Amino acid sequence: MKNCLTIAGSDCSGGAGIQADLKTFSALGCYGMSVITSVFAENTHALLSSMSVSQEVIADQLEAVFSDIRVDAVKIGVLPDTGAMRAVAAALFKYKPEIVVYGGRGADEQFRAWRVHQWNYPAVQPAHSEYPGGGNAAFLPY
């Protein structure tokens, strides 16, 4: 069984973010783990509120997972701020997971994921990309 880590926001409605990623991992027969970067109070009609998780808590979550469990693949979603970007970049640099996939809807989310990629794998080109500016991309660094 492959171990997959999602680094993303939490969507209380279950239709996006870590909740959707964990459902996908399970459907594909993978063991899913998560690092929460932000919390969204939203439903199918509106975003009511949101809150970013601190850089320190994101870093601690990443250390807790990477230091204890083999991570075969990482999927990165919402990175709400530079602190989150730095925490994720540091963990990817330290642990060098084999597969890193970036996703997100907005151009801003896409650019943040692209930036983390540049910090960790500057010599590697994306397998598919339209950066900076939007569209999902998969980066396969090794």
Q: Give pLDDT tens digits for 66-123.
A: 999 999 999 888 888 888 988 998 998 899 888 777 765 555 555 566 566 665 555 4
Q: What pLDDT, on the 0 to 100 scale, is given for residue 109?
A: 56
Pairing of the two strands 99-102 and 73-76: parallel
Q: What pLDDT, on the 0 to 100 scale, is given for residue 110?
A: 55
Backbone angles phi, psi at 103, to 5 degrees: -150, 165
**Residue 136: pLDDT band with limits 50, 70, 90:** very low
Q: What pLDDT, on the 0 to 100 scale, is given for residue 103?
A: 66
Q: What pLDDT, on the 0 to 100 scale, is given for residue 96?
A: 86
Q: Which helix (H) or strand (E) holds 24?
A: helix 17-27
Task: Tell me if the pTM is above 0.85.
Answer: no
Q: At what angle do helices 55-66 and 82-95 cross, to 10 degrees?
A: 20
